[in-house]
A and B are shown apart, each in its own frame.
Chain A
Amino acid sequence: MPALAPNDLFTILPALLLSLFGCALLVLRFDSPSFPVLLLTAAEALAAAALWRQSGFLGLTGFSGAILIDSFGLLLNTVCLAAALLVAWGAYAHLARLGEDHPEFYSLLLLAQAGMFLMIAGTELITVFIGLELSGICLYTLTGFHRDNPRSSEAALKYVLLGAFSSGLLLYGFSLLYGLSGSTHYPVIARALASHSPSEPIILLAVVPLVLGLLFKVAAAPLHLWAPDAYDGAPTPATAFLATAGKAASFGLLLRLLVGPLHDLRPAWDGLILFAALASLTLGNLSALTQSSAKRLLAWSSIGHSGYLLLGLVAANRSGIEAILLYLLVYTLMTAGAFLLLAGLDREGITDFRGLLWRHPGVSLLLVILLVSLAGLPPTAGFIAKYTIFLSLLQAQKFALAVVAALYVAVSLYFYFRLLREIITPSGPTPPTLTLSTGWRAAVGLAALLSLTLGLYPEPILAWARSTLP
């Protein structure tokens, strides 16, 4: 019987720190309103240090193979960490305006992130499932965090019901994988599945529900129906976390499974992923065209971004996976920035942005950078991210797909620039007012600044993404 070794604890050190501080936030009550944010910042700093320390021990496994430290997991965990930090800084002023600035929000952020760590670093089915549910439960609560708002509660209810349904699908696939291999550890499953052909009915029965459950979690069409409502109803900072860290962790789980134990069964899931990618691009971008609320517009465009991310998997080559990781990093910065910017405004309609430039030129500049990055135009990081996805498609000789994806960039330009046009239109009957706090300025400023600088000087993140695969 393997006993618990210090090594095991070291492999989950970031999750340990996050959950410890998450529990501390529930217990420690101080009158200072900035205390929870400071404590969360301290937790994230320690977790970042732990991740950095772990980067010196690549390949280390813990808990008899349930956790694996590799640069793939470290990159995605850093993405989640950045998302949590930005969201916490940008959230408190918005939550205070709603009358809901309570330590529970930050505690749930930390607990959700601990679950995401298990999802990303886990290489064992039960561990990743518990991690998924842990982050899921926290995200459901964050979605319904604004208790006075019926829309927030409705969004949480929809998210819970559909989330439970998709977890059931995923678990069904997991149980068949366990039945086929007799183990919940990825390497053993990979070995056991090697003798099966992808067209066997039992393989399809295991792989199809599993992939469908995961596609739901990453909010890809046609399993996206929960996303616009949940994103729209949730308090805007919670939306920012849901759309970024939630998606990054789910992609981590998806990639680890599909590129790991299920890699040889590619014909069984290839078509599903291709269909989901095209459907997400089409539905996400076309539905965003007709939205009148900026929050819903960003929600639909986030479904479109899921389509681009899945295209990296369709490319079926090394550079495709690297492109997904790069895209997730950049997507997190620009989407968290954009949603947090919305959180600073008191209204969410697109026409409510009219005249923002003349009233708050600095904030408008940040919004312009974020929108240009979301649209994927140079010189921003969004361009680099889309470019690497297209490049991987071209390397895989999938020219038609690359052309279709590029056409949807043109569609997305229309709705992002609709927002820009409103900003520069001078006549505003009631110009938007902003609630600005130091943390909000830091979060949105950092997100916009990084979106710009990483676009001008992408070498570090390109090299980082390239180093993730052996």
Chain B
Amino acid sequence: MDPVFFYLFALMTLSGALVTILRRNPIHCALGLIFSLLGVAGLFLLAAAEFLFAAQILLYIGGVMVLFLFVIMLIHLDVHTLLRPYSRLWPLALATTLALALELAWLIRHGLPQLPPARNPLPSPAPGNTEQIADSLFTTFVLPFEAASLLLLAAIVGAVWLARKKEAAS
């Protein structure tokens, strides 16, 4: 059953990505990106990374993309003129894509056999992936985890401070 789902999710990811870059309407592009990210989430699930799957759905699709759509819908710009998919930079884009394709082909041909085999091809399902992440977050990495909350606080204070009008402050 797994290969079927793998190809299904891979197809979702790739077709969504194509829609994202080929459509001219930014709404369509954003929806295509959501579709593509859903496929990535499915691939995470296949790799037994439930936590990444949930985070992908919640953060990327739920949070970031909805915000993205809101911004597109709120800004009443004639975006069609801004989003010309084939701009003058296409030779550069083509060269970059070709270079990347060559690199990938070389990696698959020469690099893959040299990589060490995975120690544990399929993570044992016994202690769930989410529990493992929680364990390491609250024991080994508790300091950076808690410091990150302070970082977010500073970012919120900074954003509010810079965005607020001075009249409102006094």
Binding site for B on A (CB under 8 A): 1-4, 8, 12, 19, 23, 26, 62-64, 66-67, 99, 102, 104, 107-108, 111-112, 114-115, 118, 124, 126-127, 129-131, 133-134, 137-138, 140-141, 144-145, 147-148, 153, 156
Contacts and interface: CB of A to CB of B under 8 A. Distances in A.
B158 A140 contact: yes
B148 to A, nearest CB: 5
Given A99-B166, A126-B141, A147-B166, A118 B147 contact: yes
Interface in B155-170: 155, 157-158, 161-162, 164, 166, 169-170
Contact of B166 (A104, A141, A148): A148
A134 B154 contact: yes
A114 B139 contact: no
Given A102-B169, A115-B151, A133-B151, 6 more contacts: A66-B144, A111-B153, A112-B154, A115-B147, A130-B144, A141-B157
B151 A23 contact: no
B113 to A, nearest CB: 18
B114 to A, nearest CB: 13
A2 to B, nearest CB: 6
Contacts of B162: 141, 144, 147, 153, 156
B21 to A, nearest CB: 23
A53 B151 CA distance: 27
B102 interface: no
Contact of A66 (B135, B143, B158, B166): B143
Nearest to A4: B142
Given A2-B139, A23-B153, A63-B142, A134 B147 contact: yes
Given A127-B147, A133-B151, A138 B158 contact: yes
Q: Which 7 A-B pairs have the closest CB atoms?
A: A141-B158, A126-B144, A63-B143, A130-B147, A134-B151, A130-B144, A1-B139
A131 B147 contact: yes
Contacts of B143: 8, 12, 62-63, 66-67, 118, 127
5 contacts: A4-B139, A62-B143, A67-B143, A130-B144, A130-B148
Given A63-B143, A67-B143, A130 B161 contact: no
B140 interface: yes
Contacts of B164: 147
A23 B143 CA distance: 18
B161 A141 contact: yes
A108 B158 contact: yes
A257 B148 CA distance: 21
Interface residues of B, number: 22
A104 B157 contact: yes
**Main SS class of interface, B:** helix
B59 interface: no
B67 interface: no
Given A127-B143, A134-B147, A1 B153 contact: no
Nearest to A142: B158
A117 B155 CA distance: 18
Which of A66, A107, A137, A140 has the most B CB atoms < 10 Å from its CB?
A: A137
Interface of B: 135, 139-144, 147-148, 150-151, 153-155, 157-158, 161-162, 164, 166, 169-170
Nearest to A140: B158
Contacts of B144: 66, 124, 126-127, 129-130
Contacts of A118: 143, 147
Given A1-B139, A2-B140, A64-B140, A130 B151 contact: yes
A470 B150 CA distance: 33
Contacts of B153: 23, 111
A171 B164 CA distance: 32
Given A26-B157, A137-B158, A141-B161, A19 B150 contact: yes
A434 B140 CA distance: 52
A106 to B, nearest CB: 12
A138 B147 contact: no
Contacts of B161: 104, 141, 145, 147
B157 A108 contact: yes
Nearest to B148: A130
A43 B151 CA distance: 19
Contacts of A115: 147, 150-151, 154
Contacts of A64: 139-140
Contacts of B148: 130
A104 B141 CA distance: 29
B139 A137 contact: no
A115 to B, nearest CB: 8
A155 to B, nearest CB: 12
Which of A111, A130, A131 has the most B CB atoms < 10 Å from its CB?
A: A130
A156 B161 CA distance: 13
Contacts of A156: 162
A102 to B, nearest CB: 7
Nearest to B136: A1
B157 A107 contact: yes
Which of B139, B140, B141, B143 has the most A CB atoms < 10 Å from its CB?
A: B143
